Structure 1
Amino acid sequence: MKQICRVLILMLALAGGSAVFASEADLDGLAAIQPLVGDWTGVGEGDPGTSAAARHAERAQDGRYIMVAGRSVYPKQDKNPKGEVHTSLDVWSFDKARRLIVMRQFDNLGFVSTYVQDRAASREGHVVMVSESMENVPAGWRARYTYDFIGADEYRELFELDPDGKGFQTYVTGRYLRDRP
């Protein structure tokens, strides 16, 4: 009888532990970037000049991911005599093992980059993502994105590059306002 009681107690303890683990798994690891979801219009300023930009972000695959399609158009200007168009597809996920947000970015120029959240630099309303791997980019380059959420209808984006290991330098800043229907 004592043996049966011990087995029942052990089973209840394990079931309780499973319930705690399941509830942790149900937490939204992407909550910090949930404000990106929606349609945005913005202006970028930086090395390639001034751009008009748009972003569309939505939850995908039963809410497990956030996908962001972006387009920035740099018209002909003194800083950029030919002009250019940048498009990107960002796929955000939450790595449960590392407990970090991960972004994989695919750029029309052929760059494919993986960014991971810098937990020490991030805080509520301020998310910092640092490159973990970069394809089709010269060896040694690093990049960093910073997202600052200014209320429900505005965010700012900072993109920095470190081509030579001497520290990040601003490449482009952007200010985005939520589109209203």
Structure 2
Amino acid sequence: MKKLITLSILILIALAGSGQSNTFARLSFLFGDWQGTGSGFGNNQSTITASYKPVMDGSFIEVNHDSRFQPTSQNPNGEHHTDQGMISFDKARKVIVFRQFNNEGYINQYVLVDSLSTTDFLVFQTENIENFVPGGSARWTIEKKSDSEIETNFYVTFPGRDAACFGTNKLSKQ
């Protein structure tokens, strides 16, 4: 009887541990390396690389974005944007959380909005932004166009104003 109880406990522990990776099943189409172009963000054109990789035994997803913007008359040197982050699962709230750190000094904490997301369209809404206009918010969407193509859009809302799309990226899986 003692062996049966021990075996049952071990099975429950194994199942509980594997549940974490299943939490990210809806994001698995993102896993890998991506390249593409972007428009907006105050510039005409950018080239982008991105990667989404499960790390720490699948407990997190590491996110890296690198965008290089072409020079413009207002910015003859162009711009370089990088951000890094981790996607996790908050067990207490039962939500997917994305913490993003930008080279401009912004730190965004997004949650995946289940009521607005589908299998092929993910909506991440900020619940907190450090070093931004008080009362402002951001939304990041990812649309799966095919197994090898995605489109992301970044929206910003300033207090008392409607959300505006600041940029669109079209990426292909490498």
User: Structure 2 length normalisation: TM-score?
Assistant: 0.86
1:89-134, CA deviations, whole angstroms, 9 ceiling, x for partnerless residues?
Answer: 0211111222211100000111111000111101111110000110
Q: For 1:71 and 1:160, how far apart are their aligned partners in 2? A: 18
Q: 1:70 aligns with which of 65, 83, 88?
A: 65
From 13, 32, 36, the counterpart of 1:42 = 36
Quick check: 1:125 aligned with 2:120? yes
Instruction: Please say if residues 48 and 79 of structure 1, whose CA atoms lie closer than 8 Å, have aligned partners that are also in contact.
Output: no
* Structure with larger Rg: 1
Task: Specify the alignment match of 1:96 in structure 2.
Answer: 91
Kindly indicate whether the alpha-carbon contact (under 8 Å) linking 1:76 and 1:82 is maintained by their aligned counterparts in 2: yes
Q: 1:41/1:171 Cα in 2 relative to 1: closer, same or farther (>3 Å)? A: same
Letter in 2 for 1:116: V
> 1:43 and 1:79, CA in 2 relative to 1: closer, same or farther beyond 3 A?
farther
Matches within 5 A, 1:90-169: 90-169=85-164
Could you tell me how far apart the structure 2 residues matched to 1:46 and 1:80 are? 14
**Paired-residue identity, %:** 30
Is the CA contact (8 Å cut-off) linking 1:48 and 1:80 kept in structure 2? no
1:26 aligns with 2:18: yes
**AA of the residue aligned to 1:146:** T
The alpha carbon displacement at 1:151 in A equals: 2.1
Structure 1, unaligned runs of 5 or more: 1-7
Deviation at 1:68, TM superposition (A): 1.3
* Runs of 4+ with >3 A deviation: 21-25, 78-82
Match in the other structure for 1:5: none
Distance 1:132 1:92 in 2: 14
Q: Could you tell me how far 1:22 is from its partner in structure 2?
A: 6.7
TM, length-normalised to structure 1 = 0.83
2:17 and 2:74 mapped to 1: Cα distance? 48
RMSD across aligned positions (CA): 2.2
Contact 1:53 1:72 in 2 (8 A): yes
Number of residue equivalences: 166
Of 52, 56, 59 in structure 2, the residue corresponding to residue 57 of structure 1 is 52
